[in-house]
Amino acid sequence: MSVTLDRRKTPHERLSEIVNNHIVRGLFAQIGLGTGDYAHTILKSAPKEKLFIIVDPYGSYEYRMMAQDELGYPSTKTARSNGDSLPILQELYQTAVYKDTAHFLYYPMDDAEFYERFQTGIFFYNESEKIKNNEYGFVLFNAENCVGNLIEGIRFMNERTPKDGVWVFNNINEYNARQRTLLDELVQECNMEPNWENDFLVATKLIDPLDCLKPEQEAYAENEDKILIANTPSDTNITYH
């Protein structure tokens, strides 16, 4: 009698499978570039017509983790340096050029800054056509084990992810039980169905967001003096047009 054992997919094989099977409108995005390995997988697996957005500041700055240090205080971690970013981005551009993959745009800023600056969408240019898009059909949160830092991103993407859009959370095996519960609740509050896999949390949007800013909208916020102050629904005493 012969026995066939199913080989467990590697994280890159599974991510490629998710991207290959993903057909929904909107941009592809990765929050946190890291070593660039997952970005390579997405680039080579995504439809060529998709635009891939990458956000990562580098810069060797310190950011706070949810995990505690030996004294019970929140621990910190140092981001990769600007020098690290150069060979990583070089390889990504080479992949995009020589492998004839999807195009990508890199934003050298932290995630919170990206969410603040691009509330009403991003512009890009294609064959003399100016395009604005404010929907994200696929998002990889390539974050460390700091679920608290994901809240802002989840709120931002929730308003901009269409029905059947997918979020993938990496590094879930580094989360403790409390962090897993928090993340599961956050995802479900966004009308997404969470699926905890071996290496990822894969969440699928069940409905279209009612208050999603459409790509063609020129939404802005102004104060009583008609001065542009923000592009976020969370601000108070502002009007949207």
Residue 129 forms part of a structural domain = yes
Report yes or no on 51 lying in a domain.
yes
Which domain covers residue 83, as residue numbers? Answer: 11-240
Tell whether 2 is covered by a domain: no
Query: Assign residue 183 a region: left if phi > 0, alpha if psi is -120 to 50, beta otherwise?
Result: alpha
CB 208 within 8 A of CB 218: no
Look up the CATH number of the domain holding residue 200.
3.40.50.150
- Name the domain count of the chain: 1
Is 30 a domain residue?
yes
User: What separation in angstroms does the CA of 5 have from each of 1, 8, 29?
Assistant: 13, 9, 34
Sign of CA dihedral 239, 214, 232, 236: positive
1 assigned to some structural domain? no
Q: Pick from 209, 105, 108, 203: which is nearest to 156 by CA?
A: 209
Is 6 domain-assigned? no
pTM above 0.85, yes or no: no
Summarised one tens digit per residue, pLDDT across range 83-126 is 778 888 999 999 888 888 888 999 998 888 999 999 999 988 87
Torsion angle in degrees (nearest 10) through CA of 31, 37, 38, 43: 100
Query: What are the angstrom distances between the C-alpha of 206 and each of 28, 41, 165, 170?
Result: 18, 26, 8, 21
In a domain, 171, yes or no: yes
* 26-83 tens-digit pLDDT: 999 999 888 899 999 999 999 888 899 999 886 555 665 555 555 555 566 666 667 7
Q: For residue range 123-160, what is the model confidence (pLDDT) as tens digits?
A: 888 777 888 999 999 999 987 666 777 888 999 999 99
Q: Which residue has the tokens 């509050």?
A: 189
Q: Choose among 160, 149, 168: nearest CA to 74.
A: 149
